[in-house]
Chains A and B, each alone.
Chain A
Amino acid sequence: MQSVSKFFGSFQALNSVSIDVRLGERVVVCGPSGSGKSTLIRCINQLEKHDEGSITIDGHPLQHNKKSLQVIHDNIGMVFQQFNLFPHLSVLDNLTLGPIRSRGMSKKQANELAMQYLERVRIPEQAAKYPSQLSGGQQQRVAIARSLCMEPKIMLFDEPTSALDPEMINEVLDVMVELAESGMTMICVTHEMGFARRVADTMVFMDHGQIIENTNTAKFFDSPESERCQEFLQQILPH
């Protein structure tokens, strides 16, 4: 991502942001509310179209065209704060719709794949239920499995645990830790600093649409360079 800017009307949500993410790298993005974290990762899969700069995925520069859409569809998965499961479909159908319709899989293949990922997020027994019959933590794990069924190379997470009751946060984080350990490339917006310390290779701190810090995790927590980042960490970390 090279000097990317994004405007909402006259408001600049991203101000010349540059960042490189290697294959297999795990990046955690943090920063105060409204700093542009969501906008940053939503630009990566073009849920928001960037206005300036360039975004390159696996050697393909993203333009607003069909080919770029294909690159995104082939490579990038995303998990949302609000889960965004399809309420009218069963858990299994939530998982298999993408593989069947856009990967051309047979129903049988897709079902097998889906069950495999449901086992990985530890809820295979919920396959026949509808999203509204599951707890928040279970729904978010279904959402993760739904993305994994598309076998993406990069997974984006936008505050995946922020909408959850505290007792459900860990079941989702555990799944994410496992995913990180399996070598998935991850870009994750979260305020779960324990999780960040554990899995992140790189920490990114944003404020006012800019990247203030972009360093390896150990350095980030021990000696952040900017004052704003220090303040932020003090607020968010238990003393």
Chain B
Amino acid sequence: MTRVLFITLMAVLLSACSSDWGWYVVNPTTPKGMTNLKFLLSGLGYTVLLSVTAIVISIIIGLLVALPGLSKNRLLKGFNRTYVELVRAVPILVMILWVYYGLPQLLSVTITVFWAGVIALALSDSAFEAEIFRAGIQSIDKGQYEASHTVALGYVDTMRFIILPQAIKRILPALGNQLVYMLKMSSLVSVIGMQELTRKANELVVTEYRPLEIYTILLLEYLVLILIVSAGVRWLERRMETDIAR
């Protein structure tokens, strides 16, 4: 992974020597370049905050939608299927526009750009989280439920102490994927004016007319973020592996 990053950086730097590039626009040794660079990076906090808040909410919704899907009750199962099918069918950009411009009118509330972004991203992602949880929980052996019954645990305790800890360990890589996905999708929230990485880049391009350099920086910003997330997930997986033998 670090090698990929290195090669990409080298490629960018090499081509930077050609006369087409105008790196001066973000050259940190000049005051102007430094200001621009800081401006670009100032979106980082929102991108991370937006993505992390959205993924946490989406995991909670996902779990709450997945559990009824595992029941034998037709009504509960139906709720699960309907939710997943409907939510999955909405393009994320449409969801963002709908939550930001539509929802406030529907509920007659005001909604900030940040929370509109969080809600839209969380909703969009929750259908996928629900499917991940459902598959993960289904992969746990029936004997675990039976054993749990013999030590007198009810549904909630069985889920909390027996099934979910094992399921979450199994779906950790998939959850990590969703976080990566979320970081990327958060760029779409720029359309409603969220001051995150992509929005900052767009604004700078308008004033500096150097889309190639600025968007290249943007691309690298996401790359670095996502590499960090990947490393984090792998670290977590390894830790769980040693924590929980097997």
Interfacial residues, chain A to chain B (CB-CB below 8 A): 45, 47, 73-74, 76-78, 80, 82, 84-88, 97-98, 101-103, 129-133, 143, 146-147, 149-150
Contact = CB atoms under 8 A, between A and B. Distances in A.
Interface stretch (B115-123, B159-167, B185-193, B197-205): B159-167
Given A88-B166, A88-B169, A130-B245, 8 more contacts: A76-B150, A84-B143, A84-B144, A86-B144, A88-B165, A101-B153, A102-B157, A130-B246
Contacts of B162: 86
A132 B151 contact: no
22 contacts: A78-B146, A80-B143, A80-B146, A80-B147, A82-B143, A84-B146, A86-B147, A86-B148, A87-B244, A97-B153, A98-B153, A101-B152, A101-B157, A101-B161, A102-B151, A102-B157, A129-B245, A130-B245, A130-B246, A133-B245, A146-B147, A147-B150
Interface of B: 141, 143-144, 146-154, 157, 161-162, 165-166, 169, 244-246
Contact of B150 (A78, A82, A129): A78
Contacts of B150: 45, 76-78, 147, 150
Contacts of B166: 87-88
A128 to B, nearest CB: 11
Contacts of B148: 86
A76 B146 CA distance: 13
B187 to A, nearest CB: 37
Nearest to B150: A78
Contacts of A84: 141, 143-144, 146-147
Given A98-B153, A101-B153, A47 B146 contact: yes
